[in-house]
Chains A and B, each alone.
Chain A
Amino acid sequence: MLELRLVQGSLLKKVLESVKDLVTDANFDCSATGFSLQAMDSSHVALVALLLRSEGFEHYRCDRNLSMGMNLNNMSKMLKCAGNDDIITIKADDGSDTVTFMFESPTQDKIADFEMKLMDIDSEHLGIPEAEYHAIVRMPSAEFARICKDLSSIGDTVVISVTKEGVKFSTRGDIGTANIVCRQNTSVDKPEESTIIEMNEPVSLTFALRYMNSFTKATPLANSVTISLSSELPVVVEYKIAEMGYIRFYLAPKIED
């Protein structure tokens, strides 16, 4: 028996919007720790890892570990029927091939339940090693989204370089080149508007902008985004989900032939 009651149902709606274009089908895993997902895109270039900790739910009952295979497009269709202020409860019985999403309006005057068919998905979990990153950049998520969108109108790939000068996003295409440098800026009043660059070593990596743009669909989840770079590893683009957990996107770099 599984019953997870999320008062801020809009978080789940936003999570789905941020992953449904990257991943078609995925297993949601439910355990005492929380509600989680790990999935790769079909070409195995990007990986998404989501965690919503059990403490973040108003009610969290998960009698045994359960993995529920869902088509994310269908799940998104159902969650779009929930109001932004609705409380969302996810329910499933042991051995059932369906999951139920219950939506309650804040004033309790409207209660809806949507039952969705589950599916069997063969998915392999990958071990994500703890890593020391050469550089970690924290910046406003809207700024990062703007940069990725702007650069993708010029080129297909972005070179992200961190030096003591700041973080540079560069692209080149048929019509020309573009470079955007963001410097550390902690003087702003609001911490979520600051840009903080921690650099152990200079690093420069190339990534496909198509994936970066897809990750920025998570922008409504957090004011800040953290970009962790190391020359031997996929970049990690992390959006913290307030008091609940995170959504992390891993993207494999483009490597010189």
Chain B
Amino acid sequence: GCKQSTITKFFSKL
């Protein structure tokens, strides 16, 4: 199946 990833996995906190 497919798992939902999150934005924070791709973009880091400033």
| Chain A residues at the B interface, C-beta cutoff of 8 Å | 40, 43-47, 124-129, 157, 206, 208, 232-234, 250, 252-257
Contacts and interface: CB of A to CB of B under 8 A. Distances in A.
Contacts of B13: 124-127
A126 B14 contact: yes
Given A44-B8, A126-B7, A254 B14 contact: no
Interface string B1-14: 11111111111111
Interface of B: 1-14
B3 A126 contact: no
Given A127-B14, A252-B10, 6 more contacts: A44-B7, A124-B14, A126-B7, A208-B4, A234-B10, A250-B11
Contact of B4 (A40, A232, A233, A252): A252
A52 to B, nearest CB: 21
Given A126-B12, A128-B11, A129-B11, A252 B6 contact: yes
Say whether chain A's binding surface is mostly helix, strand, loop, or mixed.
loop
B4 to A, nearest CB: 5
A126 B6 CA distance: 12
Contacts, number: 59
User: Ordered nearest first, which 6 A-B pairs have the shortest CB separation?
Assistant: A254-B2, A126-B11, A252-B5, A44-B6, A125-B14, A47-B7
Contacts of A256: 1-3
Contacts of A127: 11-14
Contacts of A124: 13-14
A234 B11 CA distance: 9
A257 B6 contact: no
Contacts of A252: 4-7, 9-10
A233 B13 CA distance: 16
Contacts of B14: 124-127
A235 to B, nearest CB: 11
B2 A157 contact: yes
A29 to B, nearest CB: 12
21 contacts: A40-B8, A44-B8, A47-B11, A124-B13, A125-B13, A125-B14, A126-B7, A126-B8, A127-B13, A127-B14, A206-B2, A232-B10, A234-B7, A252-B5, A253-B5, A254-B2, A254-B5, A255-B2, A255-B5, A256-B2, A256-B3
Nearest to B5: A252
Nearest to A255: B5
